[in-house]
């Protein structure tokens, strides 16, 4: 429930004398309970009072400022409102030694540039952006901008029904997008961006047409360096100004919701950059990060790790998570680099880390933080999901905290990704020797609620685009790609595909450019796109594809006994037997005529999908208009099915 600012103001003004003769009036919106919870790590709505807020005091409009700088000797507000004078507008430290500085500046308007000029311990001097700012200057400029978040949402229908659409027994087909490089007004200009409103006009209809249920946006939290792709965040409470103002981003989320599409954000509570205007050495000391660089410095990313032991930092991070869910109606958070948070020895050699108090390598403070994060989110927003990008064998990542899990809703299935791509890279003639690698995912699939990811990380830095991971000539590459899509979409679990992969992007992802949309003039690329679109339709329309996607009732191997031919058969099972689907994958380019499969439970009489279809630029001449079926045993419901298997293709029977 939103706070009652007016009631808080009346209470403060009744109990305190406000000296209006100074440039900054002594003023506070904080209660003792606010401060106590902030220090204890349990104030999860800091954005309601910290930062800058336009309010009226003694009949005069202005801006209330509130910032945490516990090691500061002085904190001033500087900006274009005072010609960037560093010392004319000092904030006041609270009497309770909380390290919070605050005050009200009359006449301060929305849309003003500002920073905090901080004189820290040992007279260190820094000019910092506001950690709670909702809007920032376009990089390379680094000032915060005073702003409000007023917006009239039009997604009431989505919000009222999204619990069902975001549930674990709902279809999940996620399109991963980097907003800057999906499409540009000028493809040759890396500084040319579509606005949030242009993305409403172009991206939303595309995702809708392709049939994806959700979109996942690589970080939109404000960041200074384009080359970090957003994973080096400085503004944890602000959508990036590269594409417009906060209301522009709200309109984008709103448009997705009105189109029936959920929005997931990449969110990075694991580390932050050392940019001078950011969180690093915020008041001259290690305030947000661990002081011990064995815990506080990340060698892989040349960045700094949050001090999860500190209650104020925990309040800051969980408030950030809630901010996006509450203020921007976000449907889920994909939490980045969870492995690096959990492990004290992550990317560190012996002697570069210190064990925890029990002698282990787990960061106990980070583990506690993650559990509290998920407990808070699912308590306050039971109709969203949190998704962990976690690559180790850490147990119970997507299990409830009351079962000693970390509490995420889902976890990326990195093992499936590596094993599947390794298998598909093989010459089809050699796949018969690696069937165990292909089927291994189902040995551990039920350990977690898994999302199958083919993300940006797999098509960059020399790893090649997805189409060129496939072997063979051009026709075989696209046949393999369509076969891979069929396998991925019929494997249990949620799906995530990085932009461009759906039409066979032929170059590695380049954040400075845009997707190669001109490729869609070619039948092979258009066919791959239409194949993926058709699979999305099957996913949404057939309950067997999602109703039991995270439990043992949803999948059954039917035939793994034809290694030599590399033909694999399995069922996807729904809540009712009549919903079951039969999937057949022919992993070689050899056509298999009159292929016999024995099934139980129900007969399959319709070819629902065939990745070799003409409409997908397949051969189109190996299909099953009439499936030949023979009853083996009516009592036990045993059937023999005879059909034709197209080359390097998957078919789905109903």
Instruction: Answer yes or no: are the C-beta atoms of 55 and 12 closer than 8 Å.
Output: no
Q: How far is CA 86 from the centre of its chain?
A: 39
641 beta partners: 597, 629
Q: What is the DSSP string of 481-517?
A: HHHHHHHHHHSSSEEEEETTGGGT--S---TTS---G
Q: For residue 489, give the nearest of 199, 208, 171, 182 by alpha carbon.
A: 171
Phi, psi (rounded to 5 degrees) for 440:
-65, -30
| Catalytic residue list contains 336 | yes
Catalytic residue among 336, 419, 580, 612: 336
Q: Environment class of residue 370 by beta-carbon count within 10 Å: exposed (0-12), middle (13-18) or buried (19+)?
A: buried
Distance CA 134, CA 115 (A): 13
Contact of 238 with 255, CB cutoff 8 Å: no
Q: Which residues pair with residue 118 across a beta bridge?
A: 75, 126
Token pair in block for residue 605: 């009489």
Cβ–Cβ < 8 Å for 550, 630: no
| In contact, 120 and 285? CB cutoff 8 Å | yes
Active-site residue among 48, 389, 390, 448?
A: 389
Task: State the SS3 of 444-463.
Answer: HHHHCCEEEEECHHHHCCCC
Report the Cα–Cα distance between both ends of the chain, in Å, rounded: 48
Known catalytic residue at 190: no
The two structure tokens encoding residue 315: 């309040």
Enzyme catalytic residues? 336, 389
């Amino acid at each position: 429930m939103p706070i009652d600012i007016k009631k808080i103001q009346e209470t403060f003004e009744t109990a305190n004398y406000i000296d209006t003769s100074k440039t900054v009036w002594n003023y506070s919106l904080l209660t003792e309970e606010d401060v106590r919870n902030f220090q204890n790590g349990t104030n999860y709505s800091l954005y309601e009072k910290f930062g800058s807020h336009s309010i009226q005091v003694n009949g005069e409009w202005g801006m209330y400022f509130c910032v945490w700088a516990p090691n500061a000797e002085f904190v001033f507000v500087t900006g274009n409102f005072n010609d960037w004078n560093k010392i004319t507008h000092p904030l006041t430290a609270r009497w309770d030694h909380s390290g919070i500085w605050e005050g009200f500046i009359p006449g301060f308007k929305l849309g003003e540039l500002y920073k905090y000029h901080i004189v820290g311990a040992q007279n260190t001097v820094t000019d910092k952006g506001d950690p709670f700012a909702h809007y920032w200057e376009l990089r390379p400029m680094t000032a915060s901008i005073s702003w409000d978040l007023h917006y009239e949402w039009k997604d009431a229908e989505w919000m009222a029904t999204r619990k069902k659409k975001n549930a674990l027994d709902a279809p999940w087909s996620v399109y991963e997008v980097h907003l800057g490089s999906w499409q540009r007004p000028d493809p040759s200009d890396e500084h040319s961006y579509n606005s949030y409103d242009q993305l409403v006009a172009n991206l939303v209809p595309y995702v809708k047409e392709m049939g994806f249920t959700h979109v996942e946006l690589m970080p939109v939290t404000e960041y200074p360096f384009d080359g970090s792709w957003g994973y080096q965040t400085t503004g944890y409470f602000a959508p990036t100004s590269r594409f417009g103002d906060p209301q522009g981003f709200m309109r984008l989320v709103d448009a997705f919701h009105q189109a029936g599409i959920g929005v997931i954000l990449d969110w990075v509570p694991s580390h932050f950059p050392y940019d001078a205007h950011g969180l690093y050495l915020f008041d001259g000391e290690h305030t947000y990060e661990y002081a011990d660089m064995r815990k506080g410095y990340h060698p892989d990313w040349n960045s700094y790790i949050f001090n999860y032991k500190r209650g104020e930092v925990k309040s800051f991070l969980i408030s950030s998570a809630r901010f996006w869910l509450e203020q921007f109606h976000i449907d889920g958070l994909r939490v980045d680099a969870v492995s690096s948070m959990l492990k004290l020895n992550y990317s560190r050699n012996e002697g570069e880390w210190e064990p925890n108090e029990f002698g282990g390598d787990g960061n106990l403070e980070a583990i506690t933080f993650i559990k509290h994060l998920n407990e808070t989110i699912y308590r306050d927003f039971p109709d969203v999901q949190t998704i962990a990008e976690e690559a180790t064998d850490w147990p119970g990542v997507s299990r409830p905290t009351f079962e000693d899990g970390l509490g995420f809703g889902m976890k990326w299935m990195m093992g499936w990704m590596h094993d599947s791509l390794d298998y598909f890279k093989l010459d089809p003639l050699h796949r018969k020797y690696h069937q165990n690698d292909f089927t291994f995912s189902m040995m551990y699939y039920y350990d977690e609620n898994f999302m199958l990811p083919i993300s940006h990380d797999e098509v960059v830095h020399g790893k090649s685009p997805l189409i060129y991971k496939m072997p063979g000539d051009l026709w075989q590459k696209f046949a393999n790609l369509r076969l891979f899509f069929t396998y991925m979409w019929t494997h249990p679990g949620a799906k995530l595909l990085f932009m461009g992969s759906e039409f066979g992007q032929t170059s590695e992802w380049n954040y400075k450019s845009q997707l190669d949309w001109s490729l869609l003039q070619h039948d092979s690329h258009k066919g791959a796109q239409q194949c993926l679109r058709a699979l999305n339709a099957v996913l949404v329309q057939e309950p067997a594809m999602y109703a039991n996607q995270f439990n043992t009732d949803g999948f059954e191997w039917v035939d793994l006994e034809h290694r030599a031919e590399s033909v694999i058969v399995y069922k996807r099972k729904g809540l009712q037997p009549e919903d079951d689907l039969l999937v057949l994958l022919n992993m070689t380019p050899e056509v298999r005529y009159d292929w016999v499969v024995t099934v139980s439970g129900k007969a399959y009489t319709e070819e629902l999908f065939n990745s070799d279809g003409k409409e997908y630029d397949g051969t189109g001449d190996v299909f099953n208009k009439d499936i030949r079926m023979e009853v083996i045993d009516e009592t036990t419901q045993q059937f023999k099915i005879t059909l034709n298997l197209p080359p390097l293709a998957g078919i789905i029977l109903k």
